[in-house]
Structure 1
Amino acid sequence: MSDQTPYARFPGQVIAAPPCRMLNANMYGFFIKGNIVNIQQYIDETLNVVPLGKDRFQALMSYCMLTFTDIENIKPVTEPYASQGWFQETDIIIWIPVARMQGLKIKKIYWYPAFICVNNIYALVNGREIWGFNKYLCDYQMPSIGADPDLFSMTVDAFTHFSPDTKMAPVELFRVEKVAAGEEKSLADLSELLKEGFDLMRAEVDCFKLDLEDLAKLVADFFHPQVDQLLLKQFPDGEGQNAVYQKLVHSPSVVQKLHDIKLYGHAFEFTLNQVDMFPLQEMFGIQVGTQSSVLNFNVLFDFNQQAAFELTSED
């Protein structure tokens, strides 16, 4: 970061230092239909509030990628944090692919983890404080490695309906259920995933400034050689009105090893519930109710989460 003021570490504080290495990240992915107008508005209200010269960020398609990822073993790689221990983490993320536009030209494509829920406080605190991940705590259900991918769900503590008398309580925000069995095809590499999967996406995906070749590269780049993540890192002042820090940062997730890749022929249904505190219909245009997901997959891999670096107009 550009601020050279040393970070004051409280004794016993849980803030570690990147990078972190992640082993056996078991990721299930589903593409969910949203609305490109809502998605662009979300980008404008977050990423595009930070001046970056004349560059702006643009939505690329009306679909969001929903992932459930159980990471078996995480630990920092630098001392003294590497010797303090390791932990398990589950991330449930809604990803938006975005383009950094220079005029009418795509300068670079990023994956924007726009909405994230995790299962432990250590992951939440470090993710928000160091990287700027928009994380919230949750409970969840998902299959373990090699199990039947039959049910995925996420529950959050939230105000289901805003009113003066509403008490915060656990509520299921969404779920994904397998409704019909199909083939599970193990693939040798990501090129096979693209070959098998994009015929499904061709008729479904409503793209903006993105042809099939660009879309193939976008998904391939998600796993190799790294995931280029774009984040809005910010902290509010004491009145919660202004930002005392607000920057766009880039943090690559560098894939170390791909253990297994599967493309699912199963039919899955995604169900979204109305929760006023997390209005995904307003945020991303994902309709409340049930829809079929497309390009459903499972990838088991190891990766390293690198430090976050501020983006500038010169990058």
Structure 2
Amino acid sequence: MSTRVPYVQSAASQQVPPPYHFPGVTVNAFYLNVSMAKVQEYCDRYLNIGEEKTRGYVYRPVPFWPYATVLFLDYPTMISSAPASAHLGEVAYSDRGAISQTEVFVAIPVMRYGVGAAKLITDTAVEWALPFIVVGNPMSSVCGREMLGLGKLLADIEIGEGRYPDSFRGKISLPGWPDSETGTMQAQQEFMKVETKPFLPTPTGTQPPRRTLASLLESPEASKLLGGVATAANFIDTFSLGLIPTAMRTVGLKQYRDAANPHRAVYQALVTCRAQYLNVRDVRFYNEKDIDLTFNDLASFHQILEVFLDVGKEPTGKPFSVNTVAGCRFMADINFDTMRIIREFPIDRDGLPPTTGSSDLVARWYRPLRGFFGPRRGVGLP
């Protein structure tokens, strides 16, 4: 009997496997300081599972990028490029139609270090953890959790223009409790809200544009520093500076829980998937001093916020603002592909065959070369 949890494909299933193609996506991105200690706690709880020597890696925050990225994405069309099983007579996924959706997530880069001298070189990679992700489409919510291991939540997401032309306003509402008092009813609660003034340059800002990130990149000093790159747009297209990801490999913990004992997992694996941002265009910067980003520290939301922000031990029940270090809007075509399981954790399951665990941690740069220098990875682990 196989130790893997089987995946059953059905034309009626909402689980659509990658690869996906998303043309013409509008992205509003905001960058804020993140608590590195909180990121390490997240890594230890959700990624560094088991003993370090056995799993063969350790995740840590990226020391040179102490920021969390909050992205609001508007997908006008979502297309699956996954092939259908011809022998089952199924209709190709691309012929089943397309959907649209809105999505908001927090992305934090994490570094995976291989354990040992050799693995430190071949198994080390930068990936992106998504501790918070919400979508406005129920199909995407189900598929993201079951297929990709992303903890997607279904939410009410409002995005659009703010009070001024060329500004932005976004809001997320989730079901939750405002406090922990007995008898309090659950209701739709506002979790996060962001509002900006118009793009730069703008006369309505609260601070001179010369002091903002975008204008600094366009200054002569920055041009010399960047080796002759004259404008912020060209700089983004060439190097990205981490502000606009050209390729983001997500990592998430995919779990199946025992229905009779929810505290016990019957399957656990780390799953990665690549998001490629192609044809990045229409890059516009906001004055970071004109961005009002607010989180609501209610009882149900406090555990989310303490993953990446320095909040108190107890929820305040009030909204609070965070300082952003940059903000921008751009359009891109996004491909979501190359999903693979990099680590299956061994589990001793009561009444079921135990899972032995396996590993495929090789960094993407080394994957084409590993056949020349060592045995194929992905074998069972003790």
Same fold (TM over 0.5): yes
> Which residue in the other structure is 1:304 paired with?
335
Residue number in structure 2 paired with 1:75: 79
The offset of 1:248, in angstroms, is 0.9
Which residue pairs with 1:289 in the alignment? 320
Matched, 1:272 2:295: yes
Q: Which amino acid aligns with 1:174?
A: M
1:12 aligned partner, one-letter code? A
- Aligned partner of 1:232 in structure 2 is 253
Q: How many Å separate the matches in 2 of 1:256 and 1:221?
A: 11
Question: Which protein has the bigger strand share?
Answer: 1
Instruction: Determine which of 279, 283, 298 is the counterpart of 1:257.
Output: 279
Shift of residue 249 of structure 1? 1.2
**1:134 aligns to what?**
151
Deviation at 1:194, TM superposition (A): 10
Q: Which amino acid aligns with 2:77?
A: N
Bigger relative contact order, structure 1 or 2, given CA contacts below 8 A and separation 6+? 1
Distance 1:193 1:16 in 2: 43
SS in 2 for 1:49: coil
1:118 paired to 2:135? yes
Residue aligned with 1:44, SS: helix
Aligned length: 287
Distance 1:19 1:271, change over 3 A: same
Please list every run of at least 4 consecutive aligned residues from structure 1 whose deviation after the TM superposition is greater than 3 angstroms: 2-6, 50-54, 102-106, 179-182, 192-197
Once the two structures are superposed, the pairs formed by residues 2-151 of structure 1 within 5 Å of their partners are 6-9=6-9, 12-49=12-49, 53-60=55-62, 61-78=65-82, 79=84, 80-102=92-114, 107-143=124-160, 148-151=166-169
User: Once the 2 structures are TM-superposed, how far is the Cα of residue 148 of structure 1 from its aligned partner?
Assistant: 2.4
CA distance in 2, matches of 1:136, 1:68: 15
Unaligned stretches of 5+ residues in structure 1? 185-191, 200-215
Q: Judging changes above 3 Å, is the alpha-carbon distance between structure 1 residues 154 and 130 closer, same or farther for their aligned structure 2 residues? A: same
How many Å apart are 1:25 and its aligned residue?
A: 1.2
Aligned equivalents of 2:325, 2:102: Cα separation in 1: 22
- CA shift in 2, pair 1:193/1:234, >3 Å: farther
Alignment partners' CA distance in 2, 1:303 and 1:180: 25
The percent of aligned pairs where both chains have the same amino acid is 22
Structure 2 counterpart SS, 1:38 = helix
CA distance in 2, matches of 1:16, 1:181: 37
**Deviation of 1:180 (Å):** 7.7
Query: Partners of 2:267 and 2:73 in 1: how far apart?
Result: 30
Distance 1:5 1:113 in 2: 24
Gaps of 5+ in 2: 85-91, 203-213, 223-238, 312-318, 343-358, 363-382
In structure 2, relative to structure 1, the CA distance for the partners of 1:297 and 1:3 (3 Å cut) is: farther
TM-score, with structure 2 as normaliser:
0.67
Alpha-carbon RMSD across the aligned residues, in angstroms, is 3.0
Cα separation, 2, equivalents of 1:108 and 1:10: 35
Larger radius of gyration: 2
Structure 2 CA distance, aligned partners of 1:248 and 1:67?
23
**Does the Cα contact within 8 Å between 1:36 and 1:285 map onto a contact in 2?**
no
Check conservation: 1:229, 1:252, Cα contact below 8 A. yes
| Shift of residue 147, structure 1, vs aligned partner | 6.0
